[in-house]
Structure 1
Amino acid sequence: MVTLSVVTPMFNERAAVDHFVARLRPVLDGLGVTYEVVAVDDGSSDGTVPRLLELRDGWDQLRVVKLRRNVGHQSALGAGLRAARGAYVVSIDADLQDPPEAIGEMLAKARDEDLDVVYGVRSDRSTDTPFKRKTAGVYYWLMRRLVGPWVSGQAGDFRLMSRPVVDTLNDLPEQQPVYRLVVPSLGFPSGEVTYVRAERVAGETKYPLGKMIKLSLDSVTSFSAAPLKIATWLGLVTFVICLGLVVSGLAAWAFGVVVPGWTSLYLAMLLLGAVQLICLGMLGEYVGRIYASTQSRPRYLVAFDTGEATGEVDVPLVTSGRA
């Protein structure tokens, strides 16, 4: 078995690929262990795949896994985890904001302290914009409240995991996993390695505001029924408010300061709206659970994997996240 797999999701990273390889390869060659690099192309359109294939000609440890279309960072990461063969697996982005030089320290820590997970934790995010730091802080604060205190406030997707952790992740029935929350929720023995977050080496961020909002929504809906419970409580609160308005409506009718017929319509609409919200909230509790358990569409399709024995062939690998 390969000792170490490095999984790198890539989407339109042509400008960063050469810089990434120039930093990563010397680090891995100097570890003295067998390794592979699994570069997962998430439907790039800027020449990322052709460049990776060129680099592979002079680097046998580089595998290129091309997905048929863009499926998002977390699903692309999941494809890489399923393809990885190492006893330990590191996930890292190609933008070099997370330093490849920390991989050796992570591997040594996992071995010396018998850990299954080693998180890369940002000790300094001064290279990020104030808006990015603020929104990230709000996101992790919310996740710690909803998911649990074990979620690190400064750990993203730069981490090392043992084979048991990766196998567990691959067996989970999650359709929209958020690995920065899933991994700590499993409870495997873990440690941390701190580093200073750097600026993106080239290209544009792959997490603009829209994708950050989507990640937040996926995080909340994957780990908490809070939105559904909020709907239920909103209905209950509205119902209580409606009771007060019922009294005021009856008083207005008693004093004759309303248009004939207005009171009955007013009260009916208020009560109906409150009851509908309560019922929708309760129904949502059940529908949400049924929906999560019955999704069976594949998260991604692999066009080819150069690590297959037959080379660059069309590999119709379908993964739905089911055990």
Structure 2
Amino acid sequence: MTPGRGLSAVAASLAAAALLTACSDSSDPADSSRSPGTSGLPDVGAEPDVPMIAVATDDLAITSDGAELIADCRPGICRWDTGTGEVSVARGSHLALGEDGTVAGVRGDATVVLVDIDSGTTRAELEGLDSAGSSPAVAFSATGALLAAGNDAGRVVVWQVDTRDVLTSFEVGDAVHGLAFDADERRLAVTGETGTSVHDSADGAPLSEVAGAAPGAAVAWSPDGAFLATSGSAGSASVWRTDDYEEVASLDTSSGVERLAFSPDSRTLAVTTLADLDVTLWRPAALRPGRTARAPRADEVQRLRGLTSAPGAVVFSPDGETVYAVADPDGVRAWSTSTAKPTVTFDPPP
């Protein structure tokens, strides 16, 4: 496992030995194996805490309506209702969440399997990756129409989800750590051992090497498509303008970037690092309109505190008012993006 991936040891065992166990028998739905959700409303204003044992920190997903948070945890795929705080558990584990409630994972035979998270039934099995490797990367496009997967050998495959056809496949020369489609689904950013490259998602043609991007899994497109965020040199987080891939903003971090996420308005980045216990909300001046040479604006930085271990994946709510982060063993916590105060407590799974 590459150090930048941020996957806990128990979660790695899930990925290797129990990934998408529902896929192996689609007649045995995941619903039958769920534990009942706990009851109780979020304790608004209290310190949010989900004291779970072994929660995977390299992926945290939120549904497009903001109703559910999804992460792998020791019991399986944990799903929190963001309105009530109730949690349910589905079997298996996942690497990516699609727009329509499909989770995707990679079996040991390198088959990418799409499973309906509610019923546990297999929707599709996608072939062409050749080798799963130790830590495959998987990403859906914004609408779920495309899915990309990459492996340790540097192979990247893009499928058309509705037809199950391989749209393109190409090699990047080193292990793939992270993948991200832009909002228009025309560009695919690939991060690996040597940095970040951008490819045409239809034919795999290289569009740019992001000079100065550092190795790691951190990569995110702004929703408006104008910027790309990656790990930068000397442990920084960097933002690149996508018309020429020039760096327009940089944020020094204490220990290197773990994960990045853009807010829905493309103006704010949530940043986690390999060792820092805080989540950083970073508002680069270059991303905010109204900046002029005579009156330059400064970057704005807020620290979201309260975790006892370094957080991994981060996501914003669809309205941009809340940011969520996952840490092991803290679990999932939430903060208000306007006040930087914790907002929600979720009960752990039984």
TM-score (norm 1): 0.27
Which is strand-richer, 1 or 2? 2
Which is helix-richer, 1 or 2? 1
TM-score (norm 2): 0.26
Higher relative contact order (CA 8 A, sep 6+): 1
